Amino acid sequence: MSPDEHVCLCFRVSKRKIVNYCKREHPKVASQVSDCLGAGTGCGWCVPFLKVLFEQCKRGEAEPDLPFSVEEYARRRTKYRETGDRTEASGAEPEAPTAERQEPK
């Protein structure tokens, strides 16, 4: 994905803006990336990808990137908007299950 492609399609926030925000502001947690022009606060599709970019920046990776082409990313988001099924976000780091959702042993 090129730096000028939008990660947050609701608010048209580019990968470049997100990466520069992370490098400049050093957010402590991924949720603070939403301070970058509201990224992730619309439909929620991009939240797992914002977390990936946040973690890559936190590790100091020179060229943070996402695992999909722009076309594939948009296609998966469209499916998410139609179905609400976040499995199309696979490729982003999965969220760890919370204590309420964990199966008893």
56: in domain? yes
20: containing domain: 6-84
Residue 21 domain flag: yes
55 domain-assigned: yes
Taking only the tens place, the pLDDT of each residue in 85-99 is 877 665 554 444 334
pLDDT of 104 > 60? The answer is: no
Is 64 among the domain residues?
Answer: yes
Domain total in the chain: 1
Instruction: Read off the pLDDT of residues 35-83 as tens digits, 9 standing for 90 and up.
Output: 989 999 998 889 999 999 999 999 999 889 888 888 888 888 888 888 8
Would you state the pLDDT for residue 15? Answer: 94
The pTM assigned to this predicted structure is 0.78
> Which residues are CB-contacts of 48 (< 8 A; sequence separation ≥ 6)?
86, 89, 92, 93, 94, 95
Q: Classify residue 31: in a domain, yes or no.
A: yes
Per-residue pLDDT tens over the stretch 2-18? 899 999 989 999 999 99
Classify residue 103: in a domain, yes or no.
Answer: no
Biggest alpha carbon distance in the chain?
A: 46
